[in-house]
Structure 1
Amino acid sequence: MYQSHFIPIKRLAGYLILSQRRHNWGATLTTKELVFQRPHLSYHIFLEDVLGLVPYPFPGPHRPPNIAESWFEPNPHRNFYKLSVARLHLINRQGAFTQEATDLIIPLNDRFIQYLDQYTDLTLLP
């Protein structure tokens, strides 16, 4: 049996729009929620809790302390974004926790952003 380092999310609200998996990270978008995953850690966010999403300058050759190491992979097709949320659910091997009002710095490619624009009421600025 195949064992994944990603924690499975059993039920997702809404309809699946896009799911992307890379070596050390994953992102899933449904019509009602976002899920970002790293090995042994998942961030579960309802779209109604999203306050904003803004581009974040590429961190350069040295990883700043606020970016997860497994997400820091230079890639010209992926940009970093700062996602501000009113609430997120953190799921790790020890259990599930709720975090109020926080920011996440996440890598997203243009395709994910296009689907986010198309299926959510977020306003994308040029």
Structure 2
Amino acid sequence: MATEPTVDVLLDRFSQEAMSVFYPFLIVSVVDRNGSASREQIAGEISKLTRGAFSCEPASHNRQVSRLEKTFRLIEPVNNEKNRTLVQYRLTAKGKRLYAESLEQVVHPLRNVLKSLD
């Protein structure tokens, strides 16, 4: 008979799943908030905003930024720097729309649920 996962195992799984959803949203949020930001600025701001709860290894962070740029086209480079760490990103029109709709349809209702838990 299979044993039930422990609370620690479930919490780790929950944290990983939350990170996969929230981290890209936080990247877009930081870029929107700042108008533009480099990969390093984005990572630093996310760490600061979440008090370190949402941080990831530089390679994983860079993959996330690249996915948002190349796969989903939510962000785009502002300048043509050859050094990736110096490239500043801004939201595309699609990124602005997705961010605004995410706030309206997901974040604001979630905020109401969280307030009710206080």
TM-score, normalised relative to structure 1: 0.29
Which structure is richer in relative contact order (CA contacts within 8 A, separation 6 or more)? 2
Report the structure, 1 or 2, having the larger helix content.
2
Larger radius of gyration: 2
User: Which structure features the higher share of strand residues?
Assistant: 1
**TM-score scaled by length of structure 2:** 0.30
